[in-house]
Structure 1
């Protein structure tokens, strides 16, 4: 069901924690690091002869203060180490390497494993180093090793330690930069960040040992006084304090594919999608309070449930911002209906009412009285939040059992690039405009449902050498032939078939769909012949080239076009000008799910109509059944139940017809 590009609902749920976060860029972080290093290079390039006098005075003043306080332990430590062969060499390399290695390793680890903490850590690290460089400029201090008249021995220089003083690698380093000790500052900063992310206890213990060893080494190698290390404390504490207050979570901007569905929305064509969830409540009722309890418990993994769009002017895309507290009275409601007819009428009314974007764009409505022992839950979310699979995944996030990990498919950039080139050539030859189907010109909707055996649909496909998607398209085309008046029906109806283009590791927010157009033959003919013709035409869905090219166009258009121009592009391309309806086939799942303790018996998709189009039908595989939801403009046909009955008739004819 679907295509090679489709992903399962479980794939999408895996990356809940990444939702709403702006993707970190290794290139941008590297540039920031190089800029800080450039500042250091400028500081270190200043002539030493104009600073050496004041640096000597500052160094002697620190040493005299330590002697007055009785804490001048450096000389005894230094003389002992100078006589130790192996220990001296190890100390020299510890001084040269470990403080850099630990800080860089922490930054890389945070970048890869804890991106939500990385920005604050990076900001505090940059502030720490800039403050240290400013101190080097304003208060140069000569280290003990450059004052041999006081009895100190430079163990690092004499040993020719690679990567430190006396090594060509750092021959241009600033040697009058003893205060603060950046060796101590960096190691203590690592400890602070490890504690902040609650690293494992043994990791933090190892880092404490590293801090103590570094404290000993910087004094024993005559590179710093004890007070140089003490001075490092505020150079860590203050930047961490400041970074915590200046670092705000990245503001998630509405991406181009998401803005696409904001742009196409009109009062006559609301763009909310979702599902009609049927629950078995024969053993226990499920009400509004039960849903609120479930949502509260999982709210951290559903960022858009507590965010709204903030507009920034006509030339900038909106951003998502927190909207607290959640207005439970509006977002989750309950009402009573009269049987399944009442359920479908309620869904149709909810579809015709645009979701306001001045609050989190979702709502759930509990419908009591659907059938004996059954409760219906309407779940709707604006299309700006996610595509069909993403919206289903967010609903699944509220359910039990939790999803299981699924390995990501391999990336094939060269194959995608070639497919894009071929697909662009194919798309350039398919720009004809279809005849329009009659529509009411209002937001009024009719909603219909149908449920058939998924195994039966698959068997029909196997018997006729077709795919399940082909069978669904055939059922739609045959139903149009049966239901729509002959003079209102053209020879072919062009439908958009959405295809999932989710990259591995993508979050369940955001739109990752493209659409490929298929012209359905809707004239009078045996359904087996219709299926054979549709199977031939739908090869464009299976090649992947048109889908890949259309996705690249949609993504790049949203990324490169100014918002006003992109909005115009969206309204032109996704409308009755180029298509007449939508048929979607969502991935199947064999998992038995429960919502608020009640087993799911069916989930019928709710799909919005593109502006100026007449219908949208989607099928969703749930627990060995194929559940269809139909959104219908009454200008095409007023009875959605009759349309779905015609769909069922086509399935029956295909099931019993000749091969």
Structure 2
């Protein structure tokens, strides 16, 4: 599939269709109408034939309560009947709040938690169907219709407009007492609020509403306490069944994830990953081996079986279960002639957008790159996870299995808030547009690799009082100076984004938890030792934490607050050649020997996407005792990625060999 076809497929999938917002709203309204029609059928049952039965059932329940000393209704009802104001308020509470709370919750879930809405709605339907069936099969007369037992009908006494028993709803089913759907609906609201982890004050407010509703249904003599208790198993069974018939619930793409979906263009596909090199001198690894490994571990890789579906312009796309994995497309095998052929395959794959009509991941087994070596090109759309998350998913496919991540200490909110405020002020003054580097501005890519002992880079850093990241930034800046001349458009500085992980310890492998801090690299002519000293000074912004915290807060809150179209516009402006000219990343990798499909891992070269309008992205990944580099390149900057990679190595070696 070419880049144009891939983007076309993406647009086709993300275009609103029969499952868009308007049709879904009409469908939900139709479901509500059908449910109301079912209730109307129950109310049309002959009342004369049900009255005696309902009376007998009501007396039986009351006698049972008296035997168990649970008959609190007469005392509550007798007191409320003499409180004129509270009596009216209780009647209105009985008539309105349970309906309002259920409708508000359904609308809120539909808009804010679509991943939970369908299951919650199905539980609500089952709860009502179960209640309607019980009303028809086991009619129960409420206490208020049995004045001879000492109960007072507070609705008739107060003439409350719109409440049960008033003229407005005089055709309502009078014998719909068991179970109490007032209690059922409020308890169901509480269950769903807990399942979406709603704010604590909201759950506390609903708990108070449940208690008030319990008091009201008893004090107004609309229900026995047994009616309220009967609602509990109805809610529990309905939720249990709904969880099993609704299938996997869709998950909404969070703001930071949607950020990378929004910035993708036909000329700037946004998939990341790596080239995994395996030692197959003793054991051959092929496509079938990789299919087996991935198939065995699919349960721990949710995005491998999900695709993105857009639900309209104003709503975030959701992840939906895709069904069977198309192994023929997701896992392929290629044969090349040497490392240059492998790099050409990676460059080709980088230039093609991953189609989103299927789970956005792909693996290609490449043979022939080196004697006794097999490469696995692993690509995942950036909407799934950040660099650390993608590395974690790759490691999950290897042996030995990773140890469970430990949860980190709780964040200090005041400290984080202060850092955000300071960082916002710093970002406000960093608004000047960077100088431009030459670029072709097409989807065509070049890919380069390099690896060297991690100890070498650390030794250089210690020698000059710099960090490994500083050495890498200096090597990139010096390499640009060497391979891009002033005649070709090389400016004096190059602003690069340095991604920093904000991923909390113990978090899942999916989701983007990354931010970026800009550093201006001097790429003019100067001694490399002077360049490193200047970069070490400028890169202090990476370690202060204030800019990173502020940028992350802006990115996260923009995804939460801004409507989807405005958030997409914000993402496209913030992550483009208008504010940066390259990406330089340093990623933590596995620090122990690993195997994939039984073959030892020897190296992993990162694959990093280019931000729209930028000409290069380079990342270093620590793998055991090696530092592996992957370079993604717009050929308008340098036509041969190996030339720029060699220049990076030359700078590091020059720094290493510089006499003290």
Shared fold by TM > 0.5? yes
What is the deviation of 1:596?
0.7
Q: Which residues of 2 match residues 10-409 of structure 1 at below 5 A? A: 57-58=56-57, 139-140=140-141, 235=234, 239=238, 242-244=241-243, 247=246, 249-409=248-408
Query: What is the CA–CA distance in structure 1 between the aligned matches of 2:282 and 2:314, rounded to whole Å?
Result: 54
Matched position secondary structure for 1:300? helix
Query: What is the CA–CA distance in structure 1 between the aligned matches of 2:231 and 2:401, rounded to whole Å?
Result: 47
Query: What is the CA–CA distance in structure 2 between the aligned matches of 1:392 and 1:256, rounded to whole Å?
Result: 21
Whether the aligned pair in 2 keeps the contact of 1:528 and 1:658 (CA below 8 Å) is no
Partner of 1:597: 598
Partner of 1:433: 433
Query: What is the CA–CA distance in structure 2 between the aligned matches of 1:234 and 1:571, rounded to whole Å?
Result: 51
Query: What is the CA–CA distance in structure 1 between the aligned matches of 2:128 and 2:621, rounded to whole Å?
Result: 55
Partner of 1:454: 454
TM-score, structure 1 length as denominator?
0.68
TM-score, structure 2 length as denominator?
0.68
Matched position secondary structure for 1:448? strand
Query: What is the CA–CA distance in structure 2 between the aligned matches of 1:566 and 1:277, rounded to whole Å?
Result: 35
- Alignment deviations for residues 561-592 of structure 1 (CA, whole Å, 9 cap, x no partner): 22222222111111111111100000143121
Whether the aligned pair in 2 keeps the contact of 1:58 and 1:141 (CA below 8 Å) is no
What is the deviation of 1:539?
0.4
Partner of 1:494: 495
Matched position secondary structure for 2:363? strand
Q: More deviation in 343-352 or 404-413? A: 404-413
Gaps of 5+ in 1: 1-52, 65-73, 80-115, 149-175, 190-224
Matched position secondary structure for 1:384? coil
Partner of 1:647: 648
Query: What is the CA–CA distance in structure 1 between the aligned matches of 2:233 and 2:641, rounded to whole Å?
Result: 71
What is the deviation of 1:126?
11
What is the deviation of 1:380?
0.5
Query: What is the CA–CA distance in structure 1 between the aligned matches of 2:229 and 2:636, rounded to whole Å?
Result: 79
What is the deviation of 1:178?
10
Matched position secondary structure for 1:589? coil
What is the deviation of 1:408?
2.6
Whether the aligned pair in 2 keeps the contact of 1:444 and 1:633 (CA below 8 Å) is yes
Partner of 1:627: 628
Query: What is the CA–CA distance in structure 2 between the aligned matches of 1:637 and 1:230, rounded to whole Å?
Result: 74
Q: In the superposition, relative to structure 1, how do residues 524 and 331 fare at CA in structure 2: closer, same or farther (>3 Å)?
A: same
Aligned residues: 496
Query: What is the CA–CA distance in structure 1 between the aligned matches of 2:178 and 2:654, rounded to whole Å?
Result: 86
- Alignment deviations for residues 161-214 of structure 1 (CA, whole Å, 9 cap, x no partner): xxxxxxxxxxxxxxx9996799xx9xxx9xxxxxxxxxxxxxxxxxxxxxxxxx
Partner of 2:419: 419
Query: What is the CA–CA distance in structure 2 between the aligned matches of 1:386 and 1:468, rounded to whole Å?
Result: 25
- Alignment deviations for residues 317-360 of structure 1 (CA, whole Å, 9 cap, x no partner): 21111112211111110010001111111111111111111111
Whether the aligned pair in 1 keeps the contact of 2:391 and 2:589 (CA below 8 Å) is no
Whether the aligned pair in 1 keeps the contact of 2:407 and 2:507 (CA below 8 Å) is no
- Alignment deviations for residues 578-632 of structure 1 (CA, whole Å, 9 cap, x no partner): 1111000001431211111111000000001111111100000001110000011
1:464 aligns with 2:464: yes
Gaps of 5+ in 2: 1-51, 70-114, 150-174, 189-223
Partner of 1:477: 477
What is the deviation of 1:78?
7.8
Partner of 1:543: 544
Query: What is the CA–CA distance in structure 1 between the aligned matches of 2:425 and 2:235, rounded to whole Å?
Result: 58
Bigger relative contact order, structure 1 or 2 (CA pairs below 8 A, ≥6 apart): 1
What is the deviation of 1:56?
7.6
Q: In the superposition, relative to structure 1, how do residues 129 and 547 fare at CA in structure 2: closer, same or farther (>3 Å)?
A: same
Partner of 1:204: none
Whether the aligned pair in 2 keeps the contact of 1:276 and 1:605 (CA below 8 Å) is yes
Matched position secondary structure for 1:486? coil
Matched position secondary structure for 1:283? coil
Query: What is the CA–CA distance in structure 1 between the aligned matches of 2:413 and 2:486, rounded to whole Å?
Result: 47
What is the deviation of 1:655?
1.2
What is the deviation of 1:363?
0.6
Q: In the superposition, relative to structure 1, how do residues 54 and 396 fare at CA in structure 2: closer, same or farther (>3 Å)?
A: same
- Alignment deviations for residues 455-514 of structure 1 (CA, whole Å, 9 cap, x no partner): 121121111111111010001001111111233211111100011111344321111111
Whether the aligned pair in 1 keeps the contact of 2:58 and 2:140 (CA below 8 Å) is no
Query: What is the CA–CA distance in structure 2 between the aligned matches of 1:559 and 1:78, rounded to whole Å?
Result: 52
Query: What is the CA–CA distance in structure 2 between the aligned matches of 1:600 and 1:125, rounded to whole Å?
Result: 51
What is the deviation of 1:117?
12
Partner of 2:13: none
